[in-house]
Chain A
Amino acid sequence: MDFDPSYTAQQFKSVGTRPLRPDGVDKVTGRARYGADFNMPGQLVGRVLRSPHAHAIIRKIDTSKAEALKGVKAVVTAADLPDLTDGDADLYAILSNCMARDKAFYDGHAVAAVAAIDARTARRALKLIEIDYEVLPHVTDVDEAMKDSAPLLHESVFTDGVDPAPAKPSNVARRSQYGHGDVDAGFADADMVVERTYRTEQTHQGYIEPHACVASVNNDGTGELWVCTQGHFVYRQWCADLLGMDVSKLRVTSSEIGGGFGGKTHVWAEPVALALSRKAGRPVKLVMSRDEVFRASGPTSATSIDVKIGAKKDGTITAASATLRYTCGPWVGMWAELGAMTAFAPYDLKNVRTVGYEVLVNRPKVSAYRAPSAPMAAFAVESAVDELARKIGMDPVDFRIANVAKEGTRASYGPVYGPIGIGPTLEAVKEHPHMKAPLGKNQGRGMACGFWFNFGGQTCTDLNIGADGTVTIAVGTVDVGGSRASLSMVAAEELGIPYEQVKAIVADTSSLGYNDMTDGSRGTFSSSMATISAARNAIRIMRARAAQMWGIPVEDVVWEEGHAKAAGAKHGNLPPLSVREIAAAAGNTGGPIAGHSELVADGAGVSFATHICDIEVDPETGQTRVLRYTVVQDAGKAVHPTYVEGQYQGGAAQGIGWALNEEYIYGKDGRLQNPGFLDYRIPVCSDLPMIDTQILEIPNPNHPYGIRGVGETSIVPPLAAIANAVSNAVGVRMTHIPMSPPRILAALEAE
């Protein structure tokens, strides 16, 4: 491929403007079709039976009564999803999570499923399935699970990453370590040291649309799946692998997605729906209830984190270390490792070490949630940084600026940074009017920094020129936040035509080459790169067609402002040819005109943000109110600034919810006590102020337009920013997230 992704400074015409979104009218009129809004002829209703136990051996499942119920067309258990994983441990974990095999590992773990002619029959059938459980002791707390005395989830798990390899099995599945320098020497050099342990509770992405799909499998081995997902190509791969189907014979269409935030990058119901359809010989629609969404899908890790940071009186950090313990649910992930990598990313540290422990517990399998693992690490580190600044008598912003990472800094997780935005966000915060606004009684201001890597990855895009010169682009990254608009703007920019002449769609898996998920803030970054490449390929063809129409060498045709132009004085009398004119002649010049692109988008520029917030605390009740909130973040280049603001605001709001009120609450029996929006308290409209944003643009050198991902970083700083604000308001250091009123009141009284 001769595509050069390097950044070139240019004057944009389309990029950076704020046009209306192409999916807007469908979404305001109720016409947009989400996961549960689609039906197939002859479709059955699927429902899943879930374990009420946190940890239990499944001795026997008797489905005979359910199968005998009139209207029931299929009942499936693990026996209907045989193990085809061929030693692939990650895939086996997915299989075991979709349908419990010999053991149920958490309250809500799927153990059987039915397909019936209607919801009433399906519900009755579930009650007729008899399961003989042997209930086992369980563990849900991260620190408890690490103890030798804790109930073991798997006899076969021995801590990976320690030398020598342990002889006894453990719930600690893996240890990872990052850093450089000599931290012991660094701490010995320090004038002041802050050392604390922090805890964060488990949260859920909280998308408003429950998981939903319609599956149809034919007896010739072909199938279709309509599903709300962040990555239909990846879902296709997993489902085909788990069901023993050919990838090419399973066509997956992504619906409009009603929120994902990382939570729709994992399969739960989809392989089950396909298995039900295969058994019943009819399409099956499977929609999770909200209760199921909370009990079985989603959550992020609960954590326990030790942080130690030392500094000289002049404000130089001499050493920093962190030990991060993250729950994974019943199977290993790399959640603590991501925490260990991101913890100290904003800083230029001579001596740094982070250690992560992946801990297995009887909770749902952890899945990605917007900059997964980074917010908890940032909460711990940024709280300690604030405390240390105070201890040595420096302004917290100045203290951070004194130690900030910049181009050429070796990151705590290994690589050397290119041009990055953390310094500029801190400088912007320092000068921001918010920092100077007066505060009232019981009010405090806090600020904090956040980092996310951003991903790139495999991407494929088609760009087709219509007979009238308008353009369609087919992309394979699901649109979770407005990427159909931003990618249309990029296509328009590259081709030199108006935005309104481009229409983007998300293509199904049979219409386009493979694409990785929309995750890691890669959607606009990766697909815009592929779109630029596809557009340049189409331009090459259009130049050739124009040359043919004019009868001149293609080398003499240039592309400017949406037109082919004949270059040089000798062709001076040839009027430029528009896309429309070239397209109109296509039938006589070689046929349809299209540009394709298949690439691995490398070089996703890392992303940094700094947030400021003001909080008021009611000292008699511990109640908090967010008075003012400001987000400053580097976007590289904001393609559609309004949608970039939307990402900043949305991430901040999720972080505010996490900081103050959202948490999974388990009873002593290991059952989730709050699987609904009533008691899992995401912020409501009246909880929040307007969320101010400031977009900085430090171009990513590895993207033609300088674009960086923007979706995730905004959830990283809020936990710490709010903790710092609460601490400043009431003079008590909060070390446990969420800072719910009972926790704040207890901390105030303990003081």
Chain B
Amino acid sequence: MSGIAVSTTINGDDVEFLCQAEETLLEVLRDRLGLTGAKEGCGTGDCGACSVLVDDRLVCSCLVLGAEAEGRNIETIEGMADGDKLHPLQRKFIEHAALQCGICTPGFLIAAKDLLAKNADPTEEEVRFGLAGNLCRCTGYDKIVRAVLDAASEMRGA
């Protein structure tokens, strides 16, 4: 077996997997670990649909090798809600209809969470530039921006 043994933490759980050297973290998440919330829209870092956090750093999981997950702390969309309690961003996305087809939604939510962690009170322009790495083809971004601003407001109040 030419596989690489990797021990990592995903959404707080210890996870071990074997992968081939050229496999990306996105492929490992989706095809080996059944975590299909991160999507492959392009595979080249241009759409953001595969966004995850690695050691609190926002990345495209299509541009990370699975082997690089060794010893890291990875957070995916599957870990965003607290049990049955949705994260405020998740709730606001539903309330504002900030999703239509929904394929970009997991990536947007992860990127928005990272954005608000760094800037709790962003302007509309900061939200737009902060989320420019996530493509959405359905909404025209209007309702996404509103949802993020509203979630930020609620999270500051909480």
Pairwise interchain contact A685-B39, C-beta atoms closer than 8 A: no
CB-CB under 8 A for A258 and B103, given A21-B94, A209-B41, A642-B97: yes
Does B33 count as interface, using CB distance less than 8 angstroms?
Answer: no
Does B69 count as interface, using CB distance less than 8 angstroms?
Answer: no
Q: Give Cα A31 to B137, complex, Å.
A: 20
Pairwise interchain contact B140-A30, C-beta atoms closer than 8 A: no
Does A9 count as interface, using CB distance less than 8 angstroms?
Answer: no
Does A717 count as interface, using CB distance less than 8 angstroms?
Answer: no
Pairwise interchain contact B22-A208, C-beta atoms closer than 8 A: no
CB-CB under 8 A for A676 and B44, given A24-B99, A650-B138: yes
CB-CB under 8 A for A34 and B100, given A27-B105, A28-B94, A646-B139: no
Does A519 count as interface, using CB distance less than 8 angstroms?
Answer: no
Task: Give the residue of A34, A646, A678 whose beta carbon is less than 8 angstroms from that of B103.
Answer: A34
A3 to chain B: which residues have CB within 8 Å? none
Which of A27, A259, A287 is the most central at the interface, judged by chain B CB atoms within 10 Å of its CB?
A27
Give chain B interface residues in 69-97, CB to chain A under 8 Å.
76-78, 80-81, 86, 90-91, 93-95, 97
Q: Give Cα A20 to B99, complex, Å.
A: 11
A650 to chain B: which residues have CB within 8 Å? 100, 137-140
Measured between C-beta atoms, what is the minimum distance from B145 to chain A in Å? 7
Chain B residue at minimal CB-CB distance from A629: B140
B38 to chain A: which residues have CB within 8 Å? 30
Q: Main secondary structure on chain A at its contact with chain B?
A: loop
Q: Give Cα A459 to B49, complex, Å.
A: 34
A34 to chain B: which residues have CB within 8 Å? 39, 103
Which of A26, A32, A289 is the most central at the interface, judged by chain B CB atoms within 10 Å of its CB?
A32
Pairwise interchain contact B129-A208, C-beta atoms closer than 8 A: no
Q: Give Cα A20 to B145, complex, Å.
A: 18
Q: Give Cα A258 to B142, complex, Å.
A: 18
Pairwise interchain contact A31-B101, C-beta atoms closer than 8 A: no
Does A688 count as interface, using CB distance less than 8 angstroms?
Answer: yes
Chain B residue at minimal CB-CB distance from A207: B137
Does A25 count as interface, using CB distance less than 8 angstroms?
Answer: yes
Q: Give Cα A685 to B111, complex, Å.
A: 13
Does A397 count as interface, using CB distance less than 8 angstroms?
Answer: no
Q: Give Cα A25 to B107, complex, Å.
A: 15
Pairwise interchain contact A646-B100, C-beta atoms closer than 8 A: yes
Pairwise interchain contact B43-A261, C-beta atoms closer than 8 A: no
Task: Give the residue of B40, B103, B127 whose beta carbon is less than 8 angstroms from that of A259.
Answer: B103
A643 to chain B: which residues have CB within 8 Å? 97, 100
Q: Give Cα A285 to B37, complex, Å.
A: 18
Q: Give Cα A716 to B112, complex, Å.
A: 31
1/0 contact string of B112-132 vs chain A (CB within 8 Å): 000000000000110111011
Task: Give the residue of A119, A258, A688 whose beta carbon is less than 8 angstroms from that of B101.
Answer: A258
Pairwise interchain contact B46-A676, C-beta atoms closer than 8 A: yes
Q: Give Cα A297 to B134, complex, Å.
A: 22
A207 to chain B: which residues have CB within 8 Å? 101, 103, 137
Pairwise interchain contact B132-A684, C-beta atoms closer than 8 A: yes
Does B66 count as interface, using CB distance less than 8 angstroms?
Answer: no
Q: Give Cα A260 to B102, complex, Å.
A: 12
Pairwise interchain contact A258-B39, C-beta atoms closer than 8 A: yes
CB-CB under 8 A for A28 and B103, given A20-B95, A259-B138, A691-B140: no
Measured between C-beta atoms, what is the minimum distance from A504 to chain B in Å? 16
Measured between C-beta atoms, what is the minimum distance from B4 to chain A in Å? 14
Does B144 count as interface, using CB distance less than 8 angstroms?
Answer: yes
Give chain B interface residues in 11-41, CB to chain A under 8 Å.
20, 22, 27, 30, 35-41
Task: Give the residue of B49, B81, B141 whose beta carbon is less than 8 angstroms from that of A688.
Answer: B141
1/0 contact string of A557-596 vs chain B (CB within 8 Å): 0000000000000000000000000000000000000000
Q: Give Cα A249 to B43, complex, Å.
A: 35
B58 to chain A: which residues have CB within 8 Å? none
Pairwise interchain contact B132-A646, C-beta atoms closer than 8 A: no
Measured between C-beta atoms, what is the minimum distance from A506 to chain B in Å? 13
Chain A residue at minimal CB-CB distance from B131: A685
B86 to chain A: which residues have CB within 8 Å? 25, 28-29
1/0 contact string of A6-40 vs chain B (CB within 8 Å): 00000000000000110111111111111011000
Does A690 count as interface, using CB distance less than 8 angstroms?
Answer: yes
Pairwise interchain contact B144-A685, C-beta atoms closer than 8 A: yes
Chain A residue at minimal CB-CB distance from B44: A676
Does B47 count as interface, using CB distance less than 8 angstroms?
Answer: yes
Measured between C-beta atoms, what is the minimum distance from A487 to chain B in Å? 16
Pairwise interchain contact A208-B109, C-beta atoms closer than 8 A: no
Pairwise interchain contact A481-B46, C-beta atoms closer than 8 A: no
Does A265 count as interface, using CB distance less than 8 angstroms?
Answer: no
Task: Give the residue of B20, B44, B77 whose beta carbon is less than 8 angstroms from that of A29.
Answer: B77
Pairwise interchain contact B142-A649, C-beta atoms closer than 8 A: yes
Pairwise interchain contact A30-B77, C-beta atoms closer than 8 A: yes
B64 to chain A: which residues have CB within 8 Å? none
Q: Give Cα A642 to B100, complex, Å.
A: 11
A290 to chain B: which residues have CB within 8 Å? 41-44, 46-47
Does A654 count as interface, using CB distance less than 8 angstroms?
Answer: yes
Task: Give the residue of B43, B47, B101, B132 whose beta carbon is less than 8 angstroms from that of A685.
Answer: B132
Pairwise interchain contact B99-A27, C-beta atoms closer than 8 A: yes
Task: Give the residue of B27, B78, B97, B101 whose beta carbon is less than 8 angstroms from that of A209.
Answer: B101
Which of A261, A643, A690 is the most central at the interface, judged by chain B CB atoms within 10 Å of its CB?
A690
Pairwise interchain contact B94-A678, C-beta atoms closer than 8 A: no
B90 to chain A: which residues have CB within 8 Å? 25, 28-29
Q: Give Cα A481 to B102, complex, Å.
A: 9
Task: Give the residue of A25, A119, A287 whose beta carbon is less than 8 angstroms from that of B94.
Answer: A25
CB-CB under 8 A for A690 and B97, given A30-B37, A290-B43, A290-B44: no
Q: Give Cα A29 to B83, complex, Å.
A: 11
Pairwise interchain contact A654-B37, C-beta atoms closer than 8 A: no
Does A210 count as interface, using CB distance less than 8 angstroms?
Answer: yes
Which of A120, A257, A290 is the most central at the interface, judged by chain B CB atoms within 10 Å of its CB?
A290
Q: Give Cα A643 to B97, complex, Å.
A: 7
A20 to chain B: which residues have CB within 8 Å? 94-95
Chain A residue at minimal CB-CB distance from B143: A646
Does A695 count as interface, using CB distance less than 8 angstroms?
Answer: no
A-B contact pairs, 22 of them (CB 8 A): A27-B102, A29-B78, A29-B86, A30-B37, A30-B38, A34-B39, A34-B103, A208-B47, A208-B137, A209-B101, A210-B41, A256-B102, A256-B103, A287-B40, A480-B101, A482-B97, A646-B100, A652-B140, A653-B139, A677-B47, A690-B145, A690-B146
* 8 nearest A-B pairs in the assembled complex, by CB-CB distance: A30-B37, A258-B103, A653-B140, A27-B102, A649-B140, A24-B94, A677-B46, A30-B77
Residues on A facing B (Cβ under 8 Å): 20-21, 23-34, 36-37, 119-120, 205-210, 256-261, 287, 289-290, 480-482, 642-643, 645-646, 649-650, 652-654, 676-678, 682-686, 688, 690-691
Residues on B facing A (Cβ under 8 Å): 20, 22, 27, 30, 35-44, 46-47, 49, 76-78, 80-81, 86, 90-91, 93-95, 97, 99-106, 109, 124-125, 127-129, 131-146
8 new A-B contacts, CB < 8 A, other than A24-B93, A645-B143, A677-B42, are: A27-B102, A208-B49, A646-B143, A649-B142, A650-B138, A654-B137, A685-B136, A688-B141
